[in-house]
């Protein structure tokens, strides 16, 4: 360490109240311009090549699935190991059975810290909690810091895509929103808009009392939490504010950092086509005594909120394997057609169609989504941990029919399904364009215009009602339509799976309704029903 250099920053010391007060933040365009000029500019096209195919992808998917299956099967053990190791690093770990408890815990911490503002990095879990609302009620400013989330927040909307939340907004709409915030007219130029957000949010990071993050993975062996991101705001919120609060779904665990290599291979490739996200941060506790940055206090709130309902459920336990990559959304022709907002819940696309009713302990309200999904199997093919989403979608409908509820809804759903499938040829073309979200989809017009027929369906009161049909008859129709829509290989696979389901259904057909709970297939349905009752009582 050279003392003569140390003297340098003593000359800067002027007004030491907050880091923000100390840092003179400039947009620094001149430096940026010259720095770019100094080197060859290879980002002119504004596009980066997606990673080339990773060899033996199937083997990696299977490995990913095995790691997730193993962890979930021993979730209590790994969660406890994680908690003990995180505590050893000085993390304050908390448990919340539902969203309400998680919010209460957060608010207790925020009040104790006398927080005025909280900066957040994108997290679906915090969407589940509606934490912004709770913070704002206490007069604490909650700032979304992902570029897309920030835009969505300014527009007072909810995200339409797990990975690209503002996919439904175009440049001009964004410029309009940001101009309001800036108090001056900003041109609809991506670089200018991003530059404005960089400066604006940097001020927010530096003055915020609390940083809030989600958690992609938690490592049992080391007590670490892992964040994957591209912008750097996840690092900001987990480095700059004094207090960090992390919301973690209780299923986020993997056993070791060794296993992280598998997740780090599957997640970015499936989410955005990258070899690895720009930042992968392995965070183990608050800053050490000797460190000069990092949070002084770190809280991790472990959330159940309906997740444990899927444990022990033979048909839906695999939902807990989900690594929230969004690949099934990009692969789904229905999602591409209607966009995320139509799904109504926090999670959209095929995963949302299954997860939302599962988390909400209530499938009746959401089944139109399950019905609308095209059952083409593209979601399963895209899923890096091989979750049989289409089986689940079919089963969800099956369960509802079995439970003898929502007959009308089912018919409406069928109409919706036909509506989508009548477009199948066109959608198939879109599906072929690839796994990653690409410009054509955004500009497709379907997503940006948010026609949202799913919501509309409920209003189509004048539709002729279908003759009463059994599930098997309905399936035959679906089968025919699927066949007509192409994808022959997938079709065969689905049929095999469906035959199994139908066989299970045939067995239960012979049962008296009162015996339904004894059928393992139907236990979950009655549990759901009971849970639904509970939920109503809560209200």
Partner 1 sequence: MNDKTFLAELDAQSRVKQEEFFDHIASRLQRPRQKTAPIRTLKGAPEDWDRYELSLEARITQFVKHWELAGGHAHRLAAMKDAVLLIQDMVRHTGAKHLIMQDQPELEPIQTALLRTKEELQREEQQDINLTIWNAHGLDDAAKGWLVAAAAQADIGITAAHAAVSYTGSVVLPSSEISGRTVSLLPTMLIVIIPVLRLKTRLGEVLRPMDEWPLAERPAGIHFVSGPSRSADIENDLTIGVHGPGIVHALLIEEA
For residues 278-307, which are near partner 1 according to CB under 8 A? 278-288, 290-294, 297, 302, 304
Residues 6 or more apart from 352 whose CB is under 8 A from it?
329, 340, 343, 345, 346, 369
Partner whose footprint covers residue 239, from partner 1, ligand SF4, none (CB < 5 to 8 Å by kind): partner 1
Instruction: Tell me: does residue 114 bind partner 1 (CB under 8 A).
Output: no
Instruction: Tell me: does residue 303 bind ligand SF4 (CB under 6 A).
Output: no
Bridge partners, residue 468, by sequence: none
Min CB(481)–partner 1 separation in Å: 31
Exposed/middle/buried for residue 311 (C-beta within 10 Å: 0-12, 13-18, 19+) = middle
Whether the CB-CB separation of 94 and 300 falls below 8 Å is answered with: yes
CA distance 130 to 6: 46
Partner whose footprint covers residue 165, from partner 1, ligand SF4, none (CB < 5 to 8 Å by kind): partner 1
Q: Tell me the window of 41-49, 302-310, 322-330, 403-411 that interacts with ligand SF4 (CB under 6 A).
A: 322-330
Instruction: Tell me: does residue 89 bind partner 1 (CB under 8 A).
Output: yes
> Looking only at residues 259 through 288 of this chain, which bind ligand SF4 when binding is defined by CB under 6 A?
270
Interaction pattern, residues 238-257, with partner 1; x per rule: CB under 8 A: xxx---------x----xxx
Interaction pattern, residues 369-408, with ligand SF4; x per rule: CB under 6 A: -------------xxxx-x-x-------------------
Side-chain-side CA neighbours of residue 155 (13 Å): 21
> Looking only at residues 194 through 213 of this chain, which bind partner 1 when binding is defined by CB under 8 A?
194, 197-198, 201-202, 206
Instruction: Tell me: does residue 53 bind partner 1 (CB under 8 A).
Output: no
Min CB(113)–partner 1 separation in Å: 9
Instruction: Tell me: does residue 326 bind ligand SF4 (CB under 6 A).
Output: yes
Residues 6 or more apart from 501 whose CB is under 8 A from it?
391, 394, 395, 398
Min CB(162)–ligand SF4 separation in Å: 6
Min CB(8)–partner 1 separation in Å: 6
377-404: buried (b, 16+ CB within 10 Å) or exposed (e) per residue? bbbbbbbbbbbbbbbbbbbbbbbbbbbe
Instruction: Tell me: does residue 6 bind partner 1 (CB under 8 A).
Output: yes
CA 471 to each of CA 26, 62, 527: distance values in angstroms, whole numbers, following the listed order:
64, 32, 22
Instruction: Tell me: does residue 262 bind partner 1 (CB under 8 A).
Output: yes
**DSSP H or E segment with residue 93:** strand 92-96
| Helix 147-154, helix 190-207: angle, nearest 10 | 90
Q: Tell me the window of 7-15, 352-360, 373-381, 495-503 that interacts with partner 1 (CB under 8 A).
A: 7-15
Measured from the CB atom, the residue of 306 and 377 that comes closer to partner 1 is 306
- Collapsing DSSP states into helix, strand and coil, what is residue 213? strand
Min CB(522)–ligand SF4 separation in Å: 24
Instruction: Tell me: does residue 254 bind ligand SF4 (CB under 6 A).
Output: no
Interaction pattern, residues 349-368, with ligand SF4; x per rule: CB under 6 A: --x-----------------
Number of CB atoms found within 10 A of residue 236's CB: 22
| Helix 471-484, helix 407-421: angle, nearest 10 | 10
Measured from the CB atom, the residue of 177 and 332 that comes closer to partner 1 is 177
> Looking only at residues 507 through 526 of this chain, which bind ligand SF4 when binding is defined by CB under 6 A?
none
Whether the CB-CB separation of 237 and 299 falls below 8 Å is answered with: no
Total of residues contacting partner 1 (CB under 8 A): 137
Measured from the CB atom, the residue of 40 and 468 that comes closer to partner 1 is 40
Min CB(26)–partner 1 separation in Å: 7
Min CB(402)–partner 1 separation in Å: 22
- Collapsing DSSP states into helix, strand and coil, what is residue 94? strand
Instruction: Tell me: does residue 455 bind partner 1 (CB under 8 A).
Output: no
CA 331 to each of CA 134, 368, 530: distance values in angstroms, whole numbers, following the listed order:
35, 19, 34
Measured from the CB atom, the residue of 342 and 383 that comes closer to ligand SF4 is 383
Angle at alpha carbon of residue 294, lines to 289 and 297, rounded to 5°: 75
Q: Tell me the window of 323-331, 398-406, 433-441, 480-488 that interacts with partner 1 (CB under 8 A).
A: 433-441
Min CB(92)–partner 1 separation in Å: 6
Instruction: Tell me: does residue 164 bind partner 1 (CB under 8 A).
Output: yes
Total of residues contacting ligand SF4 (CB under 6 A): 15
What is the DSSP pairing of strand 217-219 with strand 224-229?
Answer: antiparallel
3-state secondary structure 430-476: HHHCCCCCCHHHHHCCHHHHCCCHHHHHCCCCCCCCCCCCCHHHHHH
131-144: buried (b, 16+ CB within 10 Å) or exposed (e) per residue? bbebbeeeebbbbb
Binding site for ligand SF4 (CB under 6 A): 270, 322-328, 351, 382-385, 387, 389
């Amino acid at each position: 360490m050279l003392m003569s250099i140390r003297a340098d920053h003593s000359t800067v010391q002027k007004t030491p109240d907050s880091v923000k007060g100390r840092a003179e933040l400039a947009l620094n365009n001149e430096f940026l311009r010259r720095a770019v000029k100094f080197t060859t500019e290879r980002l002119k096209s504004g596009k980066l090549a997606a990673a080339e195919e990773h060899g033996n992808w199937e083997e990696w998917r299977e490995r990913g699935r095995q790691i997730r299956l193993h962890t979930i099967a021993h979730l209590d053990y790994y969660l406890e190991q994680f908690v003990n190791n995180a505590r050893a690093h000085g993390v304050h770990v908390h448990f919340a059975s539902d969203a309400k408890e998680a919010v209460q815990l957060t608010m207790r911490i925020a009040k104790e810290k006398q927080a005025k503002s909280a900066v957040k990095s994108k997290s679906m879990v915090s969407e589940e909690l509606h934490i912004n609302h709770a913070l704002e009620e206490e007069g604490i400013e909650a700032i979304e810091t992902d570029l897309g989330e920030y835009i969505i927040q300014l527009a007072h909307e909810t995200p339409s895509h797990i990975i690209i939340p503002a996919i439904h907004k175009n440049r001009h709409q964004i410029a309009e929103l940001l101009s309001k915030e800036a108090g001056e007219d900003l041109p609809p130029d991506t670089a200018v808009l991003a530059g404005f957000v960089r400066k604006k949010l940097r001020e927010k990071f530096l003055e915020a009392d609390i940083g809030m993050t989600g958690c992609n993975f938690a490592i049992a062996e080391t007590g670490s939490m892992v964040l994957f991101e591209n912008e750097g705001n996840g690092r900001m919120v987990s480095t700059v504010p004094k207090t960090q609060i992390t919301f973690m779904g209780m299923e986020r665990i993997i056993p070791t950092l060794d296993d992280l290599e598998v997740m780090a291979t599957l997640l970015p490739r499936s989410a955005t086509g990258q070899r690895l996200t720009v930042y992968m941060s392995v965070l183990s506790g608050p800053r050490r005594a000797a460190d000069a940055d990092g949070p002084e206090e770190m809280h991790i709130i472990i959330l159940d909120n309906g997740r444990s309902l899927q444990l022990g459920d033979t048909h839906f336990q695999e939902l807990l394997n989900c690594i929230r990559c969004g690949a099934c959304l990009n692969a789904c022709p229905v999602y591409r057609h209607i966009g995320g907002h139509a799904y109504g819940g926090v999670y959209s696309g095929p995963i949302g169609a299954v997860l939302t009713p599962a988390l909400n302990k209530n499938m009746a309200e959401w089944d139109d989504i399950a019905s609308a999904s095209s059952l083409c199997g593209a979601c399963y093919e895209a899923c890096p941990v091989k979750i049989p989403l289409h089986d689940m979608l079919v089963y969800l409908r099956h369960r509802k029919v079995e439970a003898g509820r929502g007959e009308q809804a089912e018919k409406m759903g069928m109409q919706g399904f036909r509506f989508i499938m009548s477009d199948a040829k066109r959608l198939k073309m879109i599906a072929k364009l690839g796994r990653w979200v690409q410009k054509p989809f955004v500009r497709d017009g379907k997503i940006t215009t948010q026609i949202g027929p799913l919501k509309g369906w409920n209003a189509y009161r004048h539709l002729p009602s279908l003759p009463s049909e059994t599930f098997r008859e309905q399936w035959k129709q679906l089968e025919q339509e699927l066949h007509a829509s192409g994808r022959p290989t997938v079709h065969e696979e689905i049929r095999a799976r469906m035959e199994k389901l139908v066989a299970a259904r045939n067995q239960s057909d012979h049962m008296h309704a009162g015996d339904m709970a004894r059928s393992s297939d139907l236990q979950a349905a009655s549990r759901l029903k009971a849970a639904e009752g509970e939920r109503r009582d809560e209200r």
